[in-house]
Structure 1
């Protein structure tokens, strides 16, 4: 379609390539949709999204200055998706990554790719951008070939220019103001597989240096003209109802703009942030709450969870596992437990909202801008098309923390103060007490081994809440909805599939049964890095270690003897080599673990060197990891993801536990919810196995379960004592 130069510039001067590839994935996968509780909604934009398996839409905008704008529906969480997709586009367009810009998730601008979750970003969004860039390259080369009447083999594309001998022109000039928009098939060549000029290289992330210099713009840093500030007055419990509130004289406080009260939802808006904070203190002192429910604080949580009603289902069954176990010469059983744990983002959640002329704009670090838009529409009674949601990175968080909740709260306040940008920043106790946690789990295992130490029968039962209640078009998935006067209620169990993740061992076992017991627990919960895979792998890998001991086998060789996948075996052999010269001293131990995330994504083997200190606290001295994620896009990025996952999992295993009393959460700050301090972070060494001929595999959540198990197994190696309930170090040791 020919357009004028003015129209071309008005449309940002881009080449639009829309294409169809059966079986590829720039779309919401079934798992991503289920994790959020269903389809993102029924708005026109959501309908356009590539939920259909036979359609993929990706956009590349070739700008007038020669740079390329890449659009991804995924969010930057610290996982490095921005640099990865830039590398992939740069590779296919033979253009320096310095000339590639990336626009993150934004409704009406980027594709609706659901949530940035489940380690899908490279497998889905990045692969679609790769194909789009390759398709654009081939179309542009053909266009130049026809223009210059020479074979396409004599034409090349480099750094935004088309070149053929002495002929050279920019892509902008080549297009002559035309917009190219057509449906195409699979590109004939993927440079990322054949040339790898940028892909597979440790291209530096520009945002890291900006972070170090405090120049990086997070959602917490946003400023707008005449922006105002807000705070929420929190109830005393999950089920509190506002009984009374004395509003007299509040308008006389410095900076006061508005008190917003909708049922039991209460917020204050002021000109300056500290004025809003002081107002929230004053209003909190004036509020009276009625509480009608209590939390089960007087019963040990592991014991209490077993008393809850649960949906019981056999997830997988093979052979006569029961008789096999009962007749086995070597039998063993064990029970493991993980408590509720926090996302524990260093920067509390934040959002900015602006409402005017019946239109709402929200700036948020949500991991799903389209699902959030649909849910805000239902909460506010607005058409989804009247809401614009722009993703802005926040403090790194893997999973569903308070980002969506604070966005909803900011939106509710902005609707009540039109024409002003309303910035709502949570406080530390807001974040710790009201975010949705990673749920507690119980894992019970039985096994029977033959006289040669081979597992013949296996039984696994696990108890878990659902692992995701992300916004899905239903208002009750947002925290403020439960306190409004519309009776939205609270979400139910949520995404059961998250609980089942990695519950079936990747090892070769002749007979087995896996049974889930899904309950609805007492605390608010949602997706946290790895979901149920963390608890399941922790239990399975600790139990495997115990079986190896029962069989009198080396723990790594025992695992290898139960694997048929050569890539898994390679990872374990490499981790054994890495620790072959390690000689633990007194009160020190080495522990190992392995898993393949989701039994279909990255392979990961890990070792941990742990020491018991004089005060009885266990410290991790060093950790080693070997990861196989198929084709590696950025080895530094993959190492960073893996290292971070190992350290986070070690902190979970040794230190972290959400605590509560009868009324509410008591882990209100870093003293009462202790995470690793910098001096406690171990040395970490990660090797990446790059398999160019394989497809890339999700890696962001691969390290969690195995790393925690390796730490626990190392503690046993150091002490001869098996710690099966997390955290291993008593939380009381850190409370002060």
Structure 2
């Protein structure tokens, strides 16, 4: 079976869908050098080849290929800026193809705020290598010394003679590998990097254009819905198959064990069939345990194993002066505004899937395991979705679509999750608990201990079908290994501050499905760590800003704290009436961020609101300042929403947070003033910044609430009813 789609049927399909597909970056590479050589359209198998990353067509168009996915973070624009800068071409010459197993390199997942740090820097090296080779070719062609040549918009010239990149290549592939010692541009010579080049996709986003996978329409497309069980392990005992199959527009009811899907000609016909399934089907229920009220106790009781990081000599010892605090974080969801969606087409050529996954290659590998297909028979094309923030329902809905497409071949099948599906079935961010203890002597922390409990923070599809929720419902269910990525649990649990510490991580397998939510464990860990830093500071009546600075050696860390204190007016005397500060370097290796939050308490109505958030971020060399500012503002708002409102609720029957009423998020009326400042360090390497705000914002809000009300809130979310208003 050949990789779909690759023959005349595929070409016919592309002709019918050309306008729509081009709008979604499913670009034929006719203008790219690889196809011009008659070598097909597939990605290079060797990522050290320049042609794996950059193609220059005979028409003067430059195409960048990246295995990273556009998730709203603006990496398409930033990567194009990086490439155009090193190649010395105008941005309007540059196109980009993202995350497509038929075209782009395998860069695994788009996660960990690593797209620019990793893929972006590889493309910088590829572009610089290409420019070096093309300059050599031009010098030879023009019979001139390379040192007297310059480049402007892809045209190499000595002021008299000239030749363009595309004239040099004449449609042929650029032979050559990434050069280890290639000279990249000096920051002083940048004209594009460091500028706020506008994102072209924003216009369509705000004007209702076809941007997202939810908007994608294909000729002959059918619509499907999957009927989920009422709880994780429920089993169907009765399904009204005959009734559903006789409904108008229904073309097939698909049942495989407890996986039940309905395919119809029109979307609302599929929805009506789903409603009948919901009303008439019968299930053997299972119970969730432990229930929410017992979660913390059982988390500690049933934890398995531990991992320890320590700089203490000996073990941590408690005494009468030791300060103790327990902090908790509930299960929280991605809460994507647009429920997950995917399309799939299966025919004699294989399987094609359109998905807003964070990893097209891992998804392809896992679909191959699910459907017993060779990987080369599957093509996965990444298409942006309306909201991501980690491992949401994107991969699961892709599996739904693939199962249904294989059951009804020859037609594109579109599966759109309902709000209930997204809220009740996505993998959540894990509930966590943190026990912190510390001693302070002579103004300095003399010992520190963190005990944390957490479930996995990554159960992404990585090759085994059991990671799909649908695979666990099949007649022959696939096993799920809940081990996952434990390192995500203690992300940012190790303080950047300089003092003796012991960190003990306990693994726990909880009742709800969990995986990667933006920043993984960093949000909870920094919330606890930075709240406790304030508690220790106040225990010796020390200013929280000075207390932090006294425990830091990293000058860049000190710089963001000093600047945010200055920008927020920390020394103006307002801090006693509701200002709180927090700081972290994401992953202790990525961007530095400090934030001051101003909380306004309403003592009469016993509530509070965030008045202003001021942040300073140091992400090293900044490719696009506006993009960095947008990412930081978005992260701050999301973290504020988590901190004020968000908590997944459930009982023994299942998830009860299934809509926006039962899982509220921040609305426009609650959005505070936000002020973001960037420390630009053009001579430093770029640092991942997409998740830098998550942890500090939660802690800064808690610290501000304490300063405004006198109540120290340690259990997220920080709802006003948890405040002891009698303390005022």
Tell me if TM exceeds 0.5.
yes
Cα separation, 1, equivalents of 2:109 and 2:274: 33
Choose from 393, 418, 424 the match for 1:433.
424
Residue number in structure 1 paired with 2:557? 568
Which sits farther off after the overlay, 63-72 or 466-475? Answer: 63-72
Asked if 2 retains the 8 angstrom alpha-carbon contact of 1:135 and 1:184, the reply is yes
- Change beyond 3 A, Cα 1:685–1:416: same
- TM-score (normalised: structure 1): 0.90
Deviations 1:500-540 (CA, angstroms, capped at 9, x unpaired)? 2111111000x221100110011011000110111111100
Aligned to 2:201: 207
Change (3 A) 1:273 1:625: same
The structural deviation recorded for 1:215 is: 1.4
1:236 aligns with 2:230: yes
Q: Secondary structure at the match of 1:517?
A: strand
- The count of aligned residue pairs is 689
Matches within 5 A, 1:244-259: 244-259=238-253
Which residue does the alignment assign to 2:21?
none
**What is the DSSP-based 3-state SS (H/G/I as helix, E as strand, rest coil) of the residue aligned with 1:318?**
coil
Q: Helix, strand or coil: the match of 2:674?
A: strand
Q: Does 1:548 align with 2:537?
A: yes
Q: What is the CA–CA distance in structure 1 between the aligned matches of 2:387 and 2:84, rounded to whole Å?
A: 26
- SS across alignment from 2:301: coil
CA distance in 2, matches of 1:239, 1:373: 26
Does the CA contact (< 8 Å) of 1:365 and 1:392 recur in 2? yes
Q: Tell me, yes or no, if the aligned pair for 1:58 and 1:128 is still in contact at 8 Å.
A: no
What is the match of residue 78 of structure 1?
Answer: 72
Counterparts of 1:489 and 1:136, CA distance in 2: 46
Structure 1 counterpart of 2:189, from 192, 195, 198: 195
Counterparts of 1:162-173 in structure 2, within 5 Å, are 162-173=156-167
The CA distance in 2 between the partners of 1:298 and 1:353, in whole Å, is 37
1:670 to 2:689 alignment: no
* 1:287 corresponds to: 281
Q: State the Cα deviation string for residues 453-482 of structure 1 (Å, max 9, x = none).
A: 100111110000010000010111111011
Q: For the residues of structure 2 that align with 1:579 and 1:532, how far apart are their CA atoms? A: 28
Displacement of 1:55 in angstroms is 9.0
Change (3 A) 1:234 1:588: farther
1:339 counterpart residue number: 330
Q: Distance in 1 between matches of 2:210 and 2:128?
A: 31
Alignment counterpart, residue 597 of structure 2, candidates 608, 630, 633: 608
Q: Structure 1 CA distance, aligned partners of 2:147 and 2:309?
A: 55
**Separation of aligned partners in 1, 2:575 and 2:127:** 57
- Of 531, 534, 537 in structure 1, the residue corresponding to residue 520 of structure 2 is 531
* Stretch deviating more after TM superposition (676-685 or 298-307): 298-307
CA gap 1:332/1:10 in 2 versus in 1, 3 angstroms: closer
Q: Give, in whole Å, the separation in 1 of the partners of 2:461 and 2:605.
A: 44
| Corresponding residue number in structure 1 for 2:463 | 473
What is the CA-CA distance between 1:192 and the residue it aligns to? 5.7
Q: In structure 1, how many angstroms separate the alpha carbons of the residues matched to 2:50 and 2:581?
A: 41
Equivalents in 1 of 2:489, 2:381: separation in Å?
A: 30
In 2: Cα distance, 1:524 partner to 1:233 partner: 18
Structure 1 CA distance for aligned equivalents of residues 246 and 176 of structure 2: 61
CA contact (8 A) 2:458 2:514 kept: yes
Structure 2 counterparts to residues 502-541 of structure 1, below 5 A: 502-509=492-499, 511-541=500-530
State whether residues 91 and 192 of structure 1, in contact with CA within 8 Å, keep that contact through their aligned partners in structure 2. Answer: no
Q: Which runs of 5+ in 1 are unaligned?
A: 1-8, 17-44
2:31 aligns to what? 12
Aligned to 1:715: 705
Q: Which runs of 5+ in 2 are unaligned?
A: 1-27, 36-41, 724-728
Which residue in the other structure is 2:23 paired with?
Answer: none
Say if 2:312 and 2:447, in contact at 8 Å, map to a contact too. no
Question: Is the alpha carbon distance of 1:527 and 1:298 closer, same or farther for their aligned partners in structure 2, counting shifts above 3 Å?
Answer: closer
Deviations 1:140-162 (A, max 9, x none): 11111101101112322222333
8 A Cα contact 1:493 1:519, kept in partner: no
Structure 1 CA distance for aligned equivalents of residues 172 and 645 of structure 2 = 60
What CA distance in whole angstroms lies between the structure 2 residues aligned with 1:304 and 1:47?
50
Shift in Å, 1:57:
7.7
Alpha-carbon shift at residue 312 of structure 1 (Å): 1.9
> Corresponding residue for 1:36?
none
Question: Is it true that 1:353 corresponds to 2:331 in the alignment?
Answer: no
Distance in 2 (CA, whole Å) between partners of 1:122 and 1:599 is 17
1:30 counterpart residue number: none
SS at match of 2:655: coil
Higher mean C-alpha deviation, range 536-545 or range 480-489:
480-489
CA contact (8 A) 1:123 1:698 kept: yes
Structure 1 segment 696-735 matched on structure 2, within 5 A: 696-729=686-719
Q: 1:107 aligns with which of 101, 110, 113?
A: 101
Q: How does 1:12-91 map to 2 (within 5 A)?
A: 12-14=31-33, 48=45, 58-91=52-85
Give the distance between the partners of 2:132 and 2:181, measured in 1 at CA.
Answer: 7
Q: Is the 8 A contact 1:66 1:161 kept in 2?
A: no
Tell me how far 1:364 sits from its aligned partner: 0.2
Separation of aligned partners in 1, 2:527 and 2:44? 40
Aligned in 2, Cα 1:666/1:56: closer, same or farther, shift over 3 Å?
farther
2:329–2:433 contact (8 Å) kept in structure 1: yes
Aligned CA distance change for structure 1 residues 658 and 10 (closer, same or farther; 3 Å): closer
Offset from partner CA, 1:321-379 (integer Å, 9 cap, x none): 534x53xx843110100000010000000000000105000000000000000000000
| Matching residue of 2:584 | 595
Deviation at 1:731, TM superposition (A): 8.9
- Structure 2 residue matching 1:108: 3-state secondary structure: coil
- Give yes or no for contact 1:317–1:512 (8 Å, CA) kept in 2: yes
User: Alpha carbon RMSD of aligned pairs, Å?
Assistant: 2.2
The verdict on how the C-alpha distance between 1:732 and 1:421 changes in structure 2, with shifts beyond 3 A counting, is farther
Deviation, structure 1 residue 189: 2.5
Q: C-alpha separation between the residues in 2 aligned to 1:676 and 1:657?
A: 12
Shift of 1:286: 2.5
Structure 1 residue matching 2:578: 3-state secondary structure: strand
- Structure 1 residues 56, 309: closer, same or farther in 2, change over 3 A? farther
Please say if residues 357 and 395 of structure 2, whose CA atoms lie closer than 8 Å, have aligned partners that are also in contact: yes
Distance 1:138 1:46, change over 3 A: closer
* Deviation (angstroms), 1:412: 0.2
Q: 1:66 is paired with a residue of what secondary structure?
A: coil
C-alpha separation in 2, matches of 1:469 and 1:171: 45
Q: Distance in 2 between the 1:732 and 1:251 partners?
A: 52
The CA distance in 1 between the partners of 2:89 and 2:349, in whole Å, is 42
Structure 1 residues 658 and 171: alpha-carbon distance in aligned structure 2, compared to 1, 3 A threshold:
same
Conserved in 2, the CA contact under 8 Å of 1:628 and 1:690? yes
How far did residue 13 of structure 1 move? 3.4
CA distance in 1, matches of 2:721, 2:539: 31
- Deviations 1:430-461 (CA, angstroms, capped at 9, x unpaired): 100000000000011111111x2100111110
| 2:634 corresponds to which of 619, 628, 644 | 644
Query: What is the deviation of 1:186?
Result: 2.9
State how far apart, in whole Å, the 1-side matches of 2:288 and 2:74 are. 42
